[in-house]
Amino acid sequence: MNQPRDALAPRELRAWMAFLAAGHLIDHEIERQLKREGGLSHAEFEVLVGLSLAEGNRLRMSDLARVVMVSKSRLTYQVTQLERAGLVRRTGNEADRRSVWAELTDEGAEVLARVRPGHRRVVRETLIEVLAPEEIDLLGDALGRVADRLRDR
């Protein structure tokens, strides 16, 4: 059987499949750790991290969607879940009534502080410790270029 002209070469296919498998397996380990230690999904964790890095631990919902790289509707769902758990609160802006802000609560900051060490441990065990220092640099550079290309679309 003939390969289509745009078929991936064996080394390209191997790289793609390894990327998919590693990403899936690492994400699974992170999900397990976050759920076990904080009752969070990975997506919820990313929202809490995004807010924790913002000035005053708060961001406009539209800005937070860009920071965590999700659609506004997906972010609305995540923030609703976090708000129900008392980890985030939504507020309006007096100057701009159309603007809705998400803010990390004290309880959200506590949960984040509790799960961060385990998150770092999982990242180290599943990725960092597997690679040589120069491979970490190469991986960071390569995936950074991929992310930049996709952000420019």
> What is the band of 93 on the pLDDT scale with cuts at 50, 70, 90?
low
Amino acid 6: pLDDT: 86
pLDDT, position 5: 79
Which of 20-24, 50-54, 76-80, 90-94 bottoms out in mean pLDDT, i.e. has the lowest?
90-94
Exposed e or buried b per residue across 132-152, where buried means at least 16 C-beta atoms within 10 angstroms of its C-beta: eeeeeeeeeeeeeeeeeeeee
pLDDT higher than threshold 90 for residue 87? yes
State pLDDT tens for residues 15-53: 999 999 999 999 999 999 999 999 999 999 999 999 999
- List C-alpha distances in Å: 12 to 5, 6, 18, 117: 14, 12, 10, 35
Domains and CATH numbers, the chain: 13-151 (1.10.10.10)
Residue 56: pLDDT band (50, 70, 90) is very high
How high is the mean pLDDT of the chain? 94
Q: Which long-range contacts (CB under 8 A, 24 or more apart) does 21-25 make?
A: 22/127, 25/126
Q: What is the C-alpha to C-alpha distance for residues 72 and 46, in angstroms, rounded to an integer?
A: 14
Whether the per-residue pLDDT at 54 is higher than 90: the answer is yes
